[in-house]
Amino acid sequence: MNANPSLILVMRHAEKPSDPADPDLSPAGDARAQALASYIPQTFGELDFIYAAAISKHSARPYETVKPLSQKCGVPINSTTADNDYAFLAHELLSNKQFAGKRILICWHHGNIPPLMHALGAPSGSFPNPWDPSVFNLILKLDNSLPEPSVAPITEPF
């Protein structure tokens, strides 16, 4: 059995407001978060773990994006890892046996998604690098069930 998680979904938080000082989701972001609560389990199956970048004075958006999903599926959100500590999170997910064969969703800030994907072992060129700051509807499906990890970009239909 592969010692890594079988599936890792990596996504950016939902839409943010035009005011850069506002740490919360915009109304469009709230609507996306609500839609994701049904879309993710219907599309990818049940999750075992949900991670979001830690809430800071600048942003609660990753947490707010996955909160409706967490409530709907009963999987708690781990939001203890700071946005810049993505390498620590990747190391934990790939080295701790509790994650072997599990299905994980990670919601992060777009600037650190490319290095997070790299730290998770995704092949170079299989994910956007850099991440387009106008994109809020992309999920990267990292499949570890094969001998070599593969990434499929999934565009949300809303």
Q: Domain holding 90: CATH number?
A: 3.40.50.1240
In a domain, 80, yes or no: yes
C-alpha to C-alpha distance for 155 and 138, rounded to whole angstroms: 5
C-alpha to C-alpha distance for 128 and 120, rounded to whole angstroms: 14
pLDDT tens digit sequence for 5-52: 999 999 999 999 999 999 999 999 999 999 999 999 999 999 999 999
User: What total of structural domains would you count in the chain?
Assistant: 1
What proportions of the chain, in percent to the nearest 5, are helix, strand and coil?
35, 20, 45
In a domain, 33, yes or no: yes
Q: Going by C-beta distance under 8 Å and a sequence separation of 6 or more, which residues neighbour residue 87?
A: 115, 116, 119
**Per-residue model confidence (pLDDT) at position 2:** 61
Q: What length does the chain have?
A: 158
**Per-residue model confidence (pLDDT) at position 147:** 80
**β-pair type (138-143, 150-155):** antiparallel
pLDDT tens digit sequence for 104-146: 999 999 999 999 999 999 999 999 999 999 999 999 999 988 7
**Which residues form the domain of 132?**
7-155
In a domain, 117, yes or no: yes
Q: Are 135 and 12 in contact (CB under 8 A)?
A: yes
What confidence category does residue 1 fall into, taking pLDDT thresholds of 50, 70 and 90?
Answer: very low
In a domain, 2, yes or no: no
**pTM to 2 decimal places:** 0.97
In a domain, 17, yes or no: yes
Q: Where are the alpha helices (DSSP H) in 6-109?
A: 27-44, 61-73, 86-95
In a domain, 1, yes or no: no
In a domain, 64, yes or no: yes
Q: Are 105 and 49 in contact (CB under 8 A)?
A: yes
